Amino acid sequence: MVLCLVVSLQLTIILLISAVTVGFSSKQDHHLSDILGMLTKKILSCTVLALTARTIKSFSPAAVNLSSSVSPNTNSKHPYSLSARSMSDEVEKAKEAAQLAADGSPPTIFDKIISGEWSSDKLYEDDKCMAFRDVNPQAPTHFLVIPKERDGLTQLSLAREDQKELLGHLMYVAKDLGKKECPDGFRIIINDGKDGAQSVYHLHLHVMGGRQLSWPPG
């Protein structure tokens, strides 16, 4: 609005100068006429520059507020990275799950997958463990390796001495599948307890890869 008023004022001045210029020209005062003509050109030049600057500014990121209209992950090179909100959701789930954590608690989602009640994208299965793709992947490749029998192994910190062989087996299976799925490298993660953001109290190994992972995690 202010720009329109300024431009209108400048055009009015130009018209007045033009009228005066014509008047002086008719009186053969060419010198003054030339001065007024130069002044008119200057005003026109300033007007064009102001309009050009205004137009460029209207297309700048600040003007269209791109920083707030585009979410952090929309154009991310790594679209699987967690947003702050989803990370917060996972932490809240972990806190709720910690209150119910016990071997005698109701069957978890993993128990239902093992029993076949729920379907999964299975990668591997033997008499001791099972591996399947995560339904909420945080990397191009993200799968879980879990023991088929919970047997008190709700979290790593509660593992018994007689479960050392099983733990080694889980790691070995994770290694074999990781090499196959992610030949350029992978990461194995075990969340433990509330502060470790464990959301399912049935021991499970996350195997992630398929892109350059950052460090340190979370």
Alpha-carbon gap, residue 2 to 106, rounded angstroms: 68
What is the set of active-site residues?
A: 204
**Residues 144/207, Cβ–Cβ less than 8 Å:** yes
Strands (E), 152-204: 186-189
Phi, psi for 47 (deg, rounded to 5): -65, -45
Three-state DSSP at 50 gives: helix
Bridge partners, residue 143, by sequence: 133, 207
Cβ contact 78:141 at 8 Å: no
Please give the structure tokens belonging to residue 98. 């910690």
